Amino acid sequence: MTDSVVYDKLNGFPASMEEVRSRREKVKTLVVPHPRYSFIMSKIEEMHFYSKGSVQPESIFLSGETGVGKTTLLEEYRNRYPRSIIDGYTIVPVLYNKVPVGATPKSVAASLLRSLGDPAYDKGTENSQTARLLYFIKVCKVEMIIIDEFQHLIDRETKHVLNKASDWVKSFCDEAGVPVILCGMPESQKIFAHNAQLDRRFAEKIDMNRFCYTTREEQIEFRGFLKSIDEELPFYHKSFLADKKLSDRMFYATNGVPYYVNKILLEATTIAAKSGNDSLDENHLHEAFNMLKISNRPLVTNPFANEDFDILDAYELENRKRLDIKIS
């Protein structure tokens, strides 16, 4: 979570463009360590610690849908261990990298070399790049490797697993001698089903899911998440996002996906600041929601500024519309 800052009152006077930009940037950087987020962060910390000097470093596969905060979490962990220069050598405690689209062993090796800072990352054969990469991992004192966008080891057109690339990743993880985190979309599981050796290497698999809202405990967790966000919003007054009625609306609008919560609050912040308001209200959220298009929910209705909104009725109506389209 970011440090709390008290923002000046606008008192009805529209914020300047620079002030609006500053407040938008504040919202973009909001990170709220909700229970699942904190649990996974603790697991990574433990793996990092237990693997130091171990004859068999541990590994984890982190899975989750787009928008649940996987990359945010992993980048935050990397940022806890910044690079430094000691005796002329660049020290990289945590190496973070994303698998390129249409991955090949050579492109993955080149991408990792580039993340390490090798100016000649794209030079040489696959074997020479791999050897250079393993050498730099030792020279740069890499303690942990994070490989994100793991689903790119599946061909987007054919949906087939890219065999050579997945085999290369398995061999590389074995030879690197440090703990490795693989991270990807749920469809990445297909790679493990196809590559038994890689599956054994990453036997511990953790899911990072969106929020749920069925039970009382789940609702309390989501409202706690909103309350923590509210305390960090760039306004003089609180917006009471955790109010039950507003929480129902926010969950329905976002399906519990943190990315969409942030996007709605980002646009609502812009609207409120431009209007000189010192907190968010449902009208700001209503207008912000209208600015977004959630492609996987084309039939979702705007729940904000609707006095008659009922979350169960809203989901039922959305599902009914979906069924009507299928039947027709």
Question: How far is 73 from 62, CA to CA, in rounded Å?
Answer: 11
User: DSSP character for 204?
Assistant: -
pLDDT in tens, 146-182: 999 999 999 888 889 999 999 999 999 999 999 999 9
**What fold characterizes domain 35-207?**
Rossmann fold (3.40.50)
Q: Which of 211, 217, 155 is nearest to 187 (CA)?
A: 155
pLDDT, residue 4, reads 57
For the chain, give every residue range classified as CATH 3.40.50.300.
35-207
Residue 206 half-sphere exposure, CB side, CA atoms within 13 Å? 19
Is the model's pLDDT at 33 over the cut of 90? Answer: no
- Compute the C-alpha angle 328/295/230, nearest 5°: 130
Surface-to-core class of residue 12, CB atoms within 10 Å of its CB (0-12 exposed, 13-18 middle, 19+ buried): exposed
Q: Which of 238, 259, 234, 260 is nearest to 249 (CA)?
A: 260
- Answer positive or negative: Cα dihedral of 22, 66, 298, 223: negative
pLDDT in tens, 276-315: 999 999 999 999 999 988 878 889 999 999 999 999 999 9
Is the model's pLDDT at 231 over the cut of 70? Answer: yes
End-to-end CA gap in the chain: 48
What residues does 145 pair with on adjacent strands?
95, 180
CB 268 within 8 A of CB 283: no
pTM of the model: 0.88
Count of C-beta atoms within a 10 Å radius of residue 201: 18
Is the model's pLDDT at 1 over the cut of 60? Answer: no
